[in-house]
Structure 1
């Protein structure tokens, strides 16, 4: 319900792929608008232990990262590995069928409700090696395991998308569930042209179920009023339009109130190489920073990725950074062919992007793209256009306003703390320019 209602479409196929709901792990449905009331009808479902999300989490844990939190790190690592090394194993471990897929319990034992039970089997460990300790260096075997996991995930997701197309006959697809945050797999579905357009809501995982629950209650209760604020909405959290800033806890910070040309000022600072935190408006729903709680940097700056990972985000050096671009000029740099407003799809890049902004191109030749229109985020759009006028490239690096292991900065104090204790050069907080 979340995925379909958030799309604003009158009809679509809906594919939900997760670790586990109640017993379902994968659902194919059809959504339609019934006189202003969104309705979904399940057409096919799969049940535990056939769970793609469970397998991805199990391998994430085996590789030394937190299951349910750091699967994105494994997705990034996959670009550095060779899937051929363990391809035979995963073809057996996750086998596609005419109606979906099955997971081999010899490799991935079925889940139990008691904690402490292993999610990978002795047979699996015998083939891929012992689990990696979080402090252990990342080796080639870890890269190869991540690569084959990602490859098999993409293969199964494409198979499920084709199944959804066959069952529903729809030319549009909404994707939800935790596995929908795998932007590379979503990008593969878009590239395959199974559907004319693909949509992923800003909060496709468990957090987004609150929206779907509210929609369902409204619909089940016979409500006919328009569901304002749900379709194509991502800035749903709290805002602090006029915060009273007390810098006493951070004596090294300095504050300056800016004039009316804030977007031009920020673009100029970014064009001169500054890395800036941006705190404006309401907090984004979902796991991605979409211009209201972001860290912005110029992709034209030499060494910017290394600097961001090492001194600002404090995270693994192989992690890529996402580009944000004006929707009108996205085609100059990215080949996706549709909008990606919630940074939920990986796109291949054009030759021009490789030449001019290699900092946003990951090792697999893709970038997790965010497109921005003037309607979606007016200020962010102004900044991109102003940056484009100065540099010829309306593209910025956009990552979340936080450091590794910490939540996105939802309050002004959290943002100030992030500035004070990271390599950020400055923070633009509701029209206030704060520097060290």
Structure 2
């Protein structure tokens, strides 16, 4: 039986018609499973190159079908992560703003319309199934864990009008024990507080990383006013009191430095979250007798909290997938439907999430050769030995192998790798490659069989493949591993299993044989403006526009040539489908009018880049067929205009506000 799980809105990337994106969905994804096993799964952002996209799942669905060599008519069920009645309510609310939606103001009509519009396909009777938001979160973690019986905690901002659920699952039967509404949303509380730190939605993990630099005691009482612990594992929040933080600080301006007060606020927020979650878990562990716990939902990606739960001894085992957020609900919806329809389906611990785009060894050479103007390309005879030597010599490597990882974390197939013993890597990678805050920590990848040699691991488990837990580095190793050891002596580790990822295991093993430390620094292969790279071209673009020393794809080692902006003349330039070019006639003073030019995202007005008239003209002319050089000739640019255009295009390319690719005809 084939089940396709979906998460995402109804709008295409270039329009905003239905408005579901803001009301119901984010982190669009699709996952295809057959008889309970994943065939393919990918987040839409990896394919359309827009972080956290909440648009329709068209590219992800096409990918899943292509990987399985199936058509939509072959799919038995299409599982959508949303409560049908609540989604109907959302559609009716949208119809008040846009009466033209009357024809699709019903969930079945909407999805029939979307599938017909995008695939020329009419859904079969009973093919479409809706699964409650928090049920899909619960199913994601439960079916990934392989636990027959477990306590399930789902925590996020909001989904289907609920924010927290505690569920007792026994032999695939889900019984809700506690549900909390939006008013008591821990995710929304976290978001409201972090705005004082200059952060917003999707930045929660940055504040978690900042919290070890602070002292939670300073503002403990201030944060105690934000919640009340109630009997029987219940709690209530007082989110209206967040505004009282103005008595402590004014909101930090973007790009302003962090002060100690910001760090102390982050620490107090983290402690408040953990206090509430432990209050819930202690009661329901005792009430149910469960010895196993699974956690999902966006707040479930707080790996510092997860590590403390694991080390507390409250449960014998704890499982959290790397995609605890909403993208994982595509898997959860599909798995839930599959096991409900086929109750006898077996399930076991899922060892990995390498479900995405494959890199085939026989296609790498030609794909890289298309970029030969910019690259030195060499095929290696012994990949692991050569690359480990480069890292020992201080190089930072972009590493692309096999199928990409599903979810928001790079787990060794689309990673930036480096020697964890080099303290300066932390600053170098943050500043020159990731282009992000300097305090942000990096994760270690370690051979699964060596994890207890370097980390304080509770219980009997040795497998932590999803980078979901922060554990302490053993004291005797902390000074020797400065690039992956956080300020409090901890690290968000990933264990690597030889059977699940033999190429990554072999590389770490080679590094370990030479250094005595079978650990690599691992962070996601992307810059701050884009999702994790997916294709070979994505990797090359990130490599060319960052400070990475080498790129490794399959058996190929790649170095940059000493290229200049004018070398981009042969590249084809086009606008991303989400980009909008603006030419605005406006007053530029009390008495003078003039034109201004800008490039903006059509559904994120905060992402706006001012353009010169030269930059505007070349992007307006860009048709995805002509090269930059051809466009400049056609527009009759002077030498000075060309120099200006090269500089502007380089910056836009680095910020992923335009697409540049080699001419396939050359």
TM-score, normalization by structure 1: 0.91
Superposed CA deviations along residues 148-205 of structure 1, whole A, max 9, x for unmatched, are 1111112222222223312321111111010111100000101111011110012111
Aligned residue in 2 for 1:71? 204
Partners of 1:195 and 1:130 in 2: how far apart? 40
Superposed CA deviations along residues 351-408 of structure 1, whole A, max 9, x for unmatched, are 2221321221111221111111212211111111111100000011000001123210
Aligned residue in 2 for 1:116? none
Higher relative contact order (CA 8 A, sep 6+): 1
Aligned residue in 2 for 1:389? 513
**2:147 is the alignment partner of 1:21:** no
Task: Choose which of 292, 295, 299 in structure 1 pairs with 2:420.
Answer: 299
1:225, distance to aligned residue in structure 2 (A): 4.3
Task: Choose which of 146, 167, 177 in structure 1 pairs with 2:287.
Answer: 167
Instruction: Indicate conservation of the 8 Å contact 2:423/2:482, yes or no.
Output: no
Superposed CA deviations along residues 270-315 of structure 1, whole A, max 9, x for unmatched, are 2221110111111111211100110110012241111111111111
Partners of 1:18 and 1:309 in 2: how far apart? 28
**2:324 is the alignment partner of 1:204:** yes
Q: Structure 2 unaligned runs (5+)?
A: 1-138, 561-666
Instruction: Indicate conservation of the 8 Å contact 1:43/1:167, yes or no.
Output: no
Aligned residue in 1 for 2:377? 255
Structure with bigger helix share is 2
1:222, distance to aligned residue in structure 2 (A): 3.6
Q: Which has the larger radius of gyration?
A: 2
Task: Choose which of 26, 47, 50 in structure 1 pairs with 2:184.
Answer: 50
1:85 aligned counterpart, secondary structure: coil
Task: Choose which of 215, 218, 228 in structure 2 pairs with 1:82.
Answer: 215
1:379 aligned counterpart, secondary structure: helix
1:208, distance to aligned residue in structure 2 (A): 0.6
Aligned residue in 1 for 2:449? 328
Alignment of 1:206-225 (within 5 A): 206-222=326-342, 224-225=344-345
Aligned residue in 2 for 1:92? 225
Task: Choose which of 459, 462, 469 in structure 2 pairs with 1:345.
Answer: 469
1:250, distance to aligned residue in structure 2 (A): 6.5
Aligned residue in 1 for 2:499? 375
Aligned residue in 1 for 2:404? 283
1:83, distance to aligned residue in structure 2 (A): 1.7
Partners of 2:347 and 2:335 in 1: how far apart? 8
Larger deviation, residues 322-331 vs 21-30: 21-30
Superposed CA deviations along residues 51-99 of structure 1, whole A, max 9, x for unmatched, are 11111111222211231x1111111111111222211111110222222
Q: Structure 1 unaligned runs (5+)?
A: 109-120
Instruction: Indicate conservation of the 8 Å contact 1:128/1:145, yes or no.
Output: no
Instruction: Indicate conservation of the 8 Å contact 2:368/2:536, yes or no.
Output: no
2:390 aligned counterpart, secondary structure: helix
CA RMSD of aligned residues (A): 1.8
Aligned residue in 1 for 2:353? 234
Partners of 1:124 and 1:354 in 2: how far apart? 35
**2:281 is the alignment partner of 1:144:** no
- The 4+ residue runs of structure 1 with deviation greater than 3 A are 222-228, 246-250
Instruction: Indicate conservation of the 8 Å contact 1:7/1:232, yes or no.
Output: no
Partners of 2:499 and 2:345 in 1: how far apart? 24
2:416 aligned counterpart, secondary structure: strand
Aligned residue in 2 for 1:429? 553
Task: Choose which of 536, 541, 548 in structure 2 pairs with 1:417.
Answer: 541
1:231, distance to aligned residue in structure 2 (A): 2.6
1:434 aligned counterpart, secondary structure: strand
2:189 aligned counterpart, secondary structure: helix
1:227, distance to aligned residue in structure 2 (A): 5.9
Instruction: Indicate conservation of the 8 Å contact 1:63/1:132, yes or no.
Output: yes
Partners of 1:267 and 1:106 in 2: how far apart? 53
Instruction: Indicate conservation of the 8 Å contact 1:85/1:144, yes or no.
Output: yes
Aligned residue in 2 for 1:193? 313
Superposed CA deviations along residues 4-41 of structure 1, whole A, max 9, x for unmatched, are 001112221111111112122111112233xxxx4422
* Cα pair distance change 1:234/1:87, threshold 3 Å: same
2:253 aligned counterpart, secondary structure: coil
Instruction: Indicate conservation of the 8 Å contact 1:15/1:164, yes or no.
Output: no
